[in-house]
Each structure stands twice: as structure tokens, then as C-alpha cells.
Structure 1
Amino acid sequence: MSLPRLDVFTLSHNAAKWPLPSKVLLGCALAASVWLVGDTWLLAPARERLNTLETQAAALQQALTQNAGLADTVEGQARQAQAMQEQVAGLLRQLPGESDMPGLLEDIARLAAANGLVVEGVAVLDEQSQPLYVEEPLQLGAFGAYHDLAAFLSGLGGLSRIVTVHDVVLRSDGPLLRLDFLAKTYRSTLPSGRAGRAVEQRPRFVYDAAFLRDPFQPPTSQADHARGRPTRAPDLARKRGALEAVPVDRFEMVGTLSRGVQTFALLRAASGVHRLAVGDYLGPNHGRVMAIHAGHLELAELFPDEQGAWLERSRTLVLNVNS
């Protein structure tokens, strides 16, 4: 059995005689066929390309946002790097063009005297050449109390020249502490016309032990480390006694002795027990006994400050009840 052949011409010719609803139905069928063919063969590839382009556009927009953030970060880092370069250049211009080691040694000796320290073992080491500057190191050792050593290091940071401290070693040496460290000062390798400018003065840290305790001493033996009050200079021509060559921290009060109306303090050091009265001198800092009580001794010591004036500082030696 064979199917009848579809005669399009006859169908289209007869369609003209169809009623209106049939014509509308036929037109909708033809339009749907055209839309289906067009969507399948023409619009689908274009729609796929559009989706791909939209995905690429979203990725590019995200990358653009990230790159904009990176650009801001790089710009900020570039400004920071430029500021650091300018700061380093300014520091290099402040370095002296010639060595001033004798002046530095004088400053160290002055700071040590101002804080009641004994400096020993000063060794000037070989210079170390760097690309933009020359290091001038020296090794130092100092004896003293904890607060005095801390004030000494703080004073090094306030000198007119740049001084840095390295390899700090602090250890106990009897009643005193020994501080060993490496100090470095610097000079510039720039031409003499570009080096040696004045150091910019900025606020610096100043160690103040007025309300701090010595962590290496029990609370009962803490010394008064107030800044001190101005006083007259001591008599430097006076002949010093034997007890003035021994640091005060090496003495301990072991008792008192009364003879009539006069009271003596008994102080013990490594060499034995010594008897002192009011007005006697003790220690290397022109210390003078001001008062003797049953439980403690009052001492006044004289120190030169950083400007060369003299300050008086009170000190108390507490009776060692276990002696």
C-alpha cells in the first residue's frame, strides 16, 4: 500500500478556499515551523557564543577589579619605598665624613662617670667597610648597678653621633653587674661635600629609674635612683681614702657601734669590717655619710650630669639582719 503524495501546490491552492479559522491555524503552524528551524539552526550557535562572551566578560571584569587593587597596593608600596630611600639618604648625609673615635671615647667616659660606672676592657676593633658607610666598632665592659647600666645605654642613644649597641651580655659579678657589649659608630663614604651634616634632633627615650626596682636585688636593699638635685662641685684635689676606691654596692651594713654620743656604722666588704662616722667618705662617687640609724645608713653621692654640672643623689644602705 503506498501513501498518497503530498501535493503542496494543490494544498496551497485549496488553502485559499479554507475558512478563516483554518487559515489562521495554518499560518500559526507555518510560523512555528519557521521559528523552530531558525532557533535550531541559526540562533542556538549565536546564543552559545553569547553565553561564552558573557562568561569571559565577567572573568575580565573580576580580573580588572583585582588588578586595580594590586595597582593601588603597588602604588602605596612605591611611595613607602621612596620615603624609605629618602630617609636612608638623609641618615647617610648625617654621618660624619671622617672618623671621630677619640670624641666617642670621651663621650663614653663622661656617660660612665655620670652614672657611677666603672668602664674597663675598651677595645677598638677593625673598621668594617659597607657599600654606603664604614662601621667603626669597639668592645666595652662596664661594672655597676642595674639602673645605672640602663641609664648609660640610654645615654649612648642620645649622643650627637649615631651609636648602635649589639651583642649585649649582662651577668652578675658579686653585688654588681657586668655589662659587655659591642658599640658601633659610623662614617659616610659619600663625598665630603655631601656628608657630615648636622644630626636631626628628635625626641629620644630617656631611662628613668625613679619608680623602678632593680630586678637583681631584693626590695630591702634597693637604692634611691632619683635624678638628683643640683649641688656644688666636689673638691677634686682632696686626697681620696681607701674606701673610696671600692663601689658602694660591694659594702653591706652589718651593725652600728655607739661610743658616747657618737654612733658608727659597721660596713663589711671582702677585706673585712670597716667603721664609718657621719662625714666619712665611701665609694668612688664622692659619697659622704650623712646620717646613721639603727637599721640603715644615709649616703649622699655626687655625679656629673651630661652637661658637666654636678648632681647630688641620696642613697641608703639597709642593715643586713642575717649578718
Structure 2
Amino acid sequence: MKKIKTMISLSLMTLALSACQGNGLSELQQEVQKIKDSTPTGIKELPPVIPYEPFTYSAVDLRSPFAELDPEFETRLLQIEEGCETDIQPDPNRRKFDLERFGLDALQYVGLISNKREHRGLIKIESGDSAGVIQPIHVGEYIGLNDGKVLKIDNDQITIEAIVPNSKGCWEKRPQYLVLGQ
């Protein structure tokens, strides 16, 4: 019985190996040749190089938008033009708070501490020498570069009222927000 099984398995293997020979191999060789013929052999030519033309900065004599205002220009901004509301203007004699040294883009609202009397917002400084420092802020304190007064502290945002110059030479109040986590 063992010999019969061995004979049958040998004859099946011979039959399987003989099936591999035939037209299938020639079709495969034709397909490979077709792929080789359609494959490009050269490299595309590089596009022409455009010569570099240096840019000449012509606003050297203008004030940098990142620098503080010079005192003379700031005094002119504080003057009230005719037709402006006189009660809307920054108070130059007001004591400045620590967080007024930073623009709102350099500050992040990271949390809220509450007790029965008040909410305190936690502000993280993102840039400068104080980067990473977290400071509390109360309603009524000032924050940012535009005399922004904190009006309301909520769980998800701090509402600020900033005093900014408009195009008429007057001052106007604009709401600004520090959103939690942004």
C-alpha cells in the first residue's frame, strides 16, 4: 500500500511539473518584452534655470511695525480730533500692568480659578524672556498692547475691550477675545 501511495504521488508531481511547460511561459515572455519596450530609457531634460534677481528693500527709512512708537508720534495719536468722542481715549497716566507688555498673540488663556467672589483667568506668556510663565488676571485689569481692559472671564474665553485708533484720528473701543487653549 505504501508503494502505491508513493507511485501515485510521484506521478502527480511529474504531471504538475510537465504542466508548467507550454504556451503560458511564452505569453509571459512576450508580456515582459512589451513592458521593456514601453519603458523610457532616457532622462527628461531639466527646465531652464531662471537667474536670481535680488530684491532691494526700499522701506529702510520707515518705522518698523514691531518697534514701539516714538514718544512724539504717540503724543500726536493721543490728541483728540474734532468730532471724536472725548471720553474714548487711552489714559497715558494710568499704571501699566505686567501683561500689557505683550501682544494678545503672545498670550494664551490656559485656565480659570474661581471662588465665591470672583473668577481669575490664567494667562500663559508664549514669547520673550517670560515665556512659559503663567499669571492670573482679574476683571478690570488691563492686558495687551492696546489698553485692553478685561470685561469678563468665562470658562472658555476672556472678553477684552481694547482702545484702538481709527482712520479718522479718533479712538474707538473694540472687543477682543482670548479663547481657552488658542
Q: Normalising by the residue count of structure 1, what TM-score does the alignment of the two structures yield? A: 0.29
**4+ residue runs over 3 A deviation:** none
Cα deviation 1:14-70 (Å, max 9, x = unaligned): xxxxxxxxxxxxxxxxxxxxxxxxxxxxxxxxxxxxxxxxxxxxxxxxxxxxxxxxx
| 1:178-197 mapped onto 2 (5 Å cutoff) | none
Q: Normalising by the residue count of structure 2, what TM-score does the alignment of the two structures yield? A: 0.50
Percent pairwise identity: 28
| 1:305-316 mapped onto 2 (5 Å cutoff) | 305-316=166-177
2:59 matched residue in structure 1: 138
- Asked whether the 8 Å contact 2:88–2:163 carries over to 1, the reply is no
The separation in 1 between residues aligned to 2:134 and 2:66, in whole angstroms, is 23
Say which of 270, 279, 292 aligns to 2:140. 279
| 1:164-313 mapped onto 2 (5 Å cutoff) | 232-270=88-126, 271=130, 272-313=133-174
Gaps of 5+ in 2: 1-56, 68-84
What amino acid is the match of 2:142?
Answer: Y
If asked which structure has higher relative contact order (CA below 8 Å, sep 6+), I would say 2
Deviation at 1:314, TM superposition (A): 0.3
Deviation at 1:143, TM superposition (A): 4.0
Cα deviation 1:144-179 (Å, max 9, x = unaligned): 9xxxxxxxxxxxxxxxxxxxxxxxxxxxxxxxxxxx
Q: How big is the alpha-carbon RMSD for the aligned residues of Structure 1 and Structure 2?
A: 2.3
What amino acid is the match of 2:158?
Answer: L
Deviation at 1:237, TM superposition (A): 1.3
Cα deviation 1:173-210 (Å, max 9, x = unaligned): xxxxxxxxxxxxxxxxxxxxxxxxxxxxxxxxxxxxxx
Deviation at 1:309, TM superposition (A): 1.0
Deviation at 1:283, TM superposition (A): 1.0
The separation in 2 between residues aligned to 1:261 and 1:241, in whole angstroms, is 22
The separation in 2 between residues aligned to 1:236 and 1:257, in whole angstroms, is 31
What amino acid is the match of 2:107?
Answer: F
Of Structure 1 and Structure 2, the greater strand share is in 1
Cα deviation 1:116-151 (Å, max 9, x = unaligned): xxxxxxxxx9xxxxxxxxxxx53254249xxxxxxx
Is the counterpart of residue 320 in structure 1 residue 176 in structure 2?
A: no
Instruction: Provide the secondary structure at the position in 2 that maps to 1:290.
Output: strand
What amino acid is the match of 1:311?
Answer: E
Instruction: Provide the secondary structure at the position in 2 that maps to 1:232.
Output: coil
Cα deviation 1:54-108 (Å, max 9, x = unaligned): xxxxxxxxxxxxxxxxxxxxxxxxxxxxxxxxxxxxxxxxxxxxxxxxxxxxxxx
Gaps of 5+ in 1: 1-124, 126-136, 145-229
Deviation at 1:264, TM superposition (A): 0.4
- Matched residue pairs, number? 101
What amino acid is the match of 1:138?
Answer: A
2:79 matched residue in structure 1: none
